[in-house]
């Protein structure tokens, strides 16, 4: 993770995106963090030191169970907050958040301003709207997962998680996330390989026909 202090850079920045979210001036507490693909943004089981605002990039939220099994919970795209639930509940340990692509985040040092953030009515109103939209989005995603063929959902999933044209997600985690059997998932992936949409490689699957995937994705939406 590359860390950059921003106090001097943003002091006079009238386009600082967080100005419209907080009543508090958070610039004295803010840094810029860059995460490479596959790098942890929030480490699972730890209390985060930062409230992140994802400016660019995509990430995934996951949970590791006691038996070692990993469950994908959600996918996160800019702009959005990361770690807001841990801010609201000081005793909550973080679920894992890992970058899918390079991610750029504003990082607010919550240990220095937690109480001020929790008493910032403008921020809390924004956060209520943000959490409401997230809940509605999760419900819509569940509904789609119950209503559309797996081939369409798989195309959407590949487009969301592929990095530089390569898809490398674990089949067991994807099957659970999409609510299908492992065998059914493998069957659909094999179909995508057979029709030339994907090419299987030693490190994953390379997207060979982006147009086919996008057409499936359009049908899915």
| CATH 1.10.10.10 residue ranges for the chain | 148-220
> pLDDT (tens digit, 9 = 90+) per residue, 69-107?
888 888 898 899 999 988 888 767 788 999 999 999 999
> pLDDT (tens digit, 9 = 90+) per residue, 154-199?
998 999 889 889 999 989 989 988 888 999 999 999 999 999 999 9
| CATH 2.60.120.10 residue ranges for the chain | 2-143
Residue range 148-220 in CATH 1.10.10.10 = yes
Residues 178 and 185: their CA atoms lie apart, in Å, by: 9
The strand order across the sheet containing 2-5 reads 2-5, 30-35, 103-109, 50-56, 80-82
E strand map for the chain: 2-5, 30-35, 40-42, 50-56, 58-64, 70-77, 80-82, 96-99, 103-109, 166-167, 198-201, 204-207
Q: Which residues pair with 200 in a beta bridge?
A: 205
Do residues 32 and 106 make contact, with C-beta atoms less than 8 angstroms apart? yes
Q: Which of 217, 193, 198 shows the shortest CA–CA distance to 208?
A: 198
Residues 161 and 111: their CA atoms lie apart, in Å, by: 33
> What class has domain 2-143?
mainly beta
The pTM of the full predicted model, rounded to 2 decimals, is: 0.81
């Amino acid at each position: 993770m590359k860390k950059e202090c921003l106090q001097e850079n943003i002091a006079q920045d009238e386009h600082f995106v967080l100005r419209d979210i907080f009543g508090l001036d958070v610039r004295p507490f803010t840094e810029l963090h860059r995460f490479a693909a596959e790098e942890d943004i929030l480490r699972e089981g730890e209390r985060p030191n930062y409230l992140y605002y994802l400016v660019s990039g995509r990430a995934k939220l996951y949970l590791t169970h006691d038996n070692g099994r990993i469950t994908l919970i959600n996918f996160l795209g800019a702009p959005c907050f990361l770690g807001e639930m841990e801010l609201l509940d000081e005793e909550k340990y973080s679920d894992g958040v890992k970058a899918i692509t390079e991610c750029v985040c504003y990082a607010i040092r919550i240990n220095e301003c937690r109480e001020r953030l929790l008493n910032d009515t403008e921020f809390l109103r924004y956060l209520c709207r943000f959490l409401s939209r997230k809940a509605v989005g999760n419900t819509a995603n569940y509904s789609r997962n119950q209503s559309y063929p797996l081939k369409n959902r798989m195309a959407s999933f590949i487009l969301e998680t592929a990095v530089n044209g390569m898809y490398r997600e674990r089949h067991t985690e994807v099957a659970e996330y999409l609510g299908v059997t492992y065998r059914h998932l493998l069957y659909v992936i094999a179909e995508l390989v057979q029709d030339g949409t994907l090419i299987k490689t030693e490190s994953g699957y390379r997207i060979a026909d982006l147009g086919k995937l996008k057409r499936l994705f359009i049908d899915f939406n």
